Amino acid sequence: MIEFRSVTKTYPDGTAAVADFDLVIPPHRTTVLVGSSGSGKTTLLRMINRMVEPTSGTIEIDGASILDRDPVKLRRSIGYVLQNGGLLPHYKVVDNVTTVLRLEGTPRRQARDRALELLDTVGLDRALADRYPSQLSGGQQQRVGVARALAADPNILLMDEPFGAVDPIVRAELQTETIRLQSELEKTVVFVTHDIDEAFLLGDQVVILEKGAQVAQIGSPSEIIENPASEFVASFIGAERGARALRTKRTDHGTVLVDGTGRTQGVLVDDLVEGGA
């Protein structure tokens, strides 16, 4: 579990990126921080591995303050995936994946075997191990970035807009892959995006943020869609534009669901689903 308590971050130029922020991030689940540009998402994420130090407040991992941990060791124990993969261009794929393992003294041979296993885990062909990042597609580079983040088998995985730079088809593929991976690995994932659809797709817990990392609403996707906490949330999730206000429409072939603009969004296959997340 990760817990933020009254966390504030004011950058040296006076920008109040995060003001009095509280959040509990449950273990083995995916928590998505979503909000528009500048709402403080990246600042929050980077405070977890001490790439950014809070101005005040505490952050605990499993009940212990991260301020008592050595920052370098802490950082190596937490997986971090960046938007552009963050791969080192002059390192082969295998060496990118094994960076942290090598820093920690894992012998080269053993590190390579682990890297090959990780390529399997993220759905990449082992034959790519000896290529350089520039010889991979954007989607493949992102998968290598995920493999690298998983190398030291961290409990926590931080993902900062990891699919922001790839085209929509590859993005959808990577999202599906992330869901598969998470169901197998059950890491504590903290995922940052500005895309509410991505947040609802991947998040067990979704945190909608306004400027200064003010929490507009926290909940499961269903809770937020069923009961937006404010006009801001309703507008942010698209309820006002009618994107989530679906109506049934009977056609010659059955019943479909149409949104506020009249576009068909799905097919009604069952009358009532009890419970559900």
Ligand X SMILES: Nc1ncnc2c1ncn2[C@@H]1O[C@H](COP(=O)(O)OP(=O)(O)OP(=O)(O)O)[C@@H](O)[C@H]1O
Question: Which residues contact ligand X by CB under 6 A?
Answer: 11, 13, 15, 17, 35, 37-43, 194
Q: How far is the CB of 268 from ligand X (least distance, A)?
A: 36
Region label for 238, one of left (φ > 0), alpha (ψ between -120 and 50) or beta (otherwise): left
Helix, strand or coil for residue 270? coil
Q: In what order do the strands lie in the sheet with 56-61?
A: 16-25, 2-10, 56-61, 64-65
Query: What gap in Å lies between CA 122 and CA 146, rounded to an integer?
Result: 7
Measured between alpha carbons, how far is residue 103 from residues 81, 150, 156, 204, 230 in Å? 18, 15, 19, 33, 48
By C-beta, is 54 or 129 nearer to ligand X? 54
Q: How far is the CB of 2 from ligand X (least distance, A)?
A: 17
Q: How far is the CB of 12 from ligand X (least distance, A)?
A: 7
By C-beta, is 39 or 205 nearer to ligand X? 39
Residue with tokens 């390192």: 91
By C-beta, is 11 or 249 nearer to ligand X? 11
Helix, strand or coil for residue 94? helix
DSSP class of 249: E
By C-beta, is 15 or 227 nearer to ligand X? 15
Q: How far is the CB of 17 from ligand X (least distance, A)?
A: 3
By C-beta, is 140 or 191 nearer to ligand X? 191
Q: How far is the CB of 8 from ligand X (least distance, A)?
A: 12
